[in-house]
Structures are given as C-alpha cells and as structure tokens.
Amino acid sequence: MKDFLDLLRSIAIFIASIAIVVALWYWRPDGLTAMMDANLAIIKFVGRTLMAPYGAMTESALRLLAGEKALLFFETALLIRLSVWLFKRLLVINHKK
C-alpha cells in the first residue's frame, strides 16, 4: 500500500510541476526563458568540466534529450517537495504550541 501511495504522490508532483511550468509560461514567459537559459548554462558547464571527448558527447546528449527542459521539471518538482515539507514542519511546530 505504501508503494502505491508513493506512486500516486510522484504522479501528483509530476502533474503539479507541469501545471506550474504552464502557469509560468502563461504569466511570465521571460522568466521561463531565463530559467531555461540558466539550465543551458549548467549543461554547458558540465560539458566543459569533463575530459575532452566526453564533455562534448555529454553536452550533445543532454541537448539532444532536452536536458534543460528536464532540469526545469526537476526544479519545479523539487520546489513542490520542499514546499510540502516546509508546510508540514510549520504545521507540526504550530500544532505543538
């Protein structure tokens, strides 16, 4: 049962992260573009830090597989998880008082 609940939680976080990205795209498309540019800079940094043939191959593979978009969804999912965790912590602290 716990595995099923974890699966449902993961699906809900994925759907919420898509909703956040769409809302951000509708509300502030320039902010979304800035986030994508920052993610592309991260991918380029990773490509430069690896050794000669592997850096270019890694950067190419990440760009081919839309790594900057995957990072965007990862960042929004992380934001959702941190927000839920913080909300639970604040709820527990206020409940103890």
* Nearest alpha carbon to residue 39 among 57, 62, 61: 62
**Do residues 10 and 61 make contact, with C-beta atoms less than 8 angstroms apart?**
no
- pTM higher than 0.85 for the full model? no
pLDDT by residue for the chain (97 residues), tens digit each? 888 988 898 899 889 988 998 998 899 889 888 888 998 898 899 889 988 888 888 888 888 888 888 888 888 998 898 988 888 888 876 766 6
**Do residues 40 and 68 make contact, with C-beta atoms less than 8 angstroms apart?**
yes
